[in-house]
């Protein structure tokens, strides 16, 4: 397995809609395992293939309790699609591709997601609260949407200005404290 490079805003590849996986084969299985390893190393709780520069509809998520073994609860989905949305919730989100920004985002409280496993089984997941938020966040990535795009124009502009200032100063973002990064 290999760690993959996580793209960061404003990389244009993050704005591209991912293509569906046509054949679930060994390459897709290897991609999924590399994505999971990368997500754990980051550390984050979710990762979409587009975040590592791969133009395919694949996500991994792990919302395990802190004392649980990594990988045991990892959700790996191919071609996930939201079939139903219900209710509304506001959740404080962060993102591995949008460093040093967390913000409240309004999403559906409950979702029904359909997709495929690496074992070529079709699955249906009914999710609420944090799992629903995380699934919507990762599927947004596959559609070329960052959580930054769901914020007010003022918050987006302030974040962009801060990133430009750091770039002019030749500094990278630092992460002294790590919020929950989806």
Catalytic residues: 138
Q: Are the beta carbons of 82 and 113 closer than 8 angstroms?
A: yes
End-to-end CA distance of the chain: 21
Omega cis (within 30) before 55: no
Say if residues 38 and 45 touch (Cβ distance below 8 Å): no
Count of positions (residues) in the chain: 182
| Chain CA centroid to CA 66, Å | 19
Report the C-alpha gap between 109 and 130 in whole angstroms. Answer: 8
Residue 162 contacts residue 171 (beta carbons within 8 Å): no
**Residue 37: DSSP 8-state:** H
């Amino acid at each position: 397995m290999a760690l993959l490079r996580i793209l960061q805003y404003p990389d244009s590849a993050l704005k591209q809609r991912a293509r569906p996986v046509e054949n679930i084969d060994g390459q897709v299985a290897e991609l999924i395992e590399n994505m999971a390893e990368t997500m754990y190393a980051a550390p984050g709780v979710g990762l979409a293939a587009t975040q590592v520069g791969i133009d395919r509809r694949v996500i991994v998520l792990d919302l395990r309790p802190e004392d649980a073994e990594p990988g045991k609860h990892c959700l790996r989905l191919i071609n996930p699609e939201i079939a139903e949305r219900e209710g509304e919730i506001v959740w404080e989100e962060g993102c591995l591709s949008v460093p040093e920004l967390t913000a409240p985002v309004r999403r559906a409280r409950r979702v029904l997601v359909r997709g495929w496993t690496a074992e070529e089984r079709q699955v249906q997941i009914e999710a609420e609260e944090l799992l629903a938020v995380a699934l919507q966040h990762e599927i947004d990535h596959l559609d070329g949407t960052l959580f930054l795009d769901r914020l007010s124009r003022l918050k987006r502009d302030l974040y962009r200005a801060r990133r430009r200032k750091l770039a002019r100063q030749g500094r990278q973002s630092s992460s002294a404290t790590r919020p929950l990064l989806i």
